[in-house]
Amino acid sequence: MVCPWYRQGFCISPVLDKPSDSVTSANRCLGDFKTCKFYIDSPDTDKEGLEKFEEKQTANKLHITELMLPEVYATTEMPESPCEYFSVSTYDGKYYAFCRKKREWLVKSQISLCASYYNTCPWRE
């Protein structure tokens, strides 16, 4: 089981002031995370990120969750990609991109890859 506070290499624990990659450890975050000093119990810790997302998805409208850290996922300029699986949502004046094929929110580096290299994306097959 993966720590519910681990996202794309960052620890997003509410114990921290801001997301940090300096406290992440593959052995701990992807295994025995309950011994970590940054782990706190949450009512939804038994659910993975995608399950939380699916609970908040209604009428085919994408919703940004509290786990969508702007530092990791958001851009200030409207992202664009010719990929048919690329979808953009806005929240609090920022833009978030979603891949409908992967069924995942994209981090900033993935957004730029989708814009420039969508034809070679392995998920398009």
| 23 domain residue, yes or no | yes
Residues 71 and 106 in one domain: yes
Residue 54 has pLDDT above 60, yes or no: no
| 18 domain residue, yes or no | yes
Residue 59 has pLDDT above 80, yes or no: no
Spatial distance between the Cα atoms of 41 and 74, rounded to a whole number of angstroms: 26
Range of the domain at 17: 1-46
The string of pLDDT tens digits covering residues 61-81 is 455 665 677 888 889 999 999
Residue 48 has pLDDT above 80, yes or no: no
Looking at the structure of the chain, the number of domains it has is: 2
Residues 40 and 65 in one domain: no
Residues 84 and 31 in one domain: no
Helix locations, the chain, DSSP H: 26-29, 49-56, 70-73, 108-117
Residues 42 and 65 in one domain: no
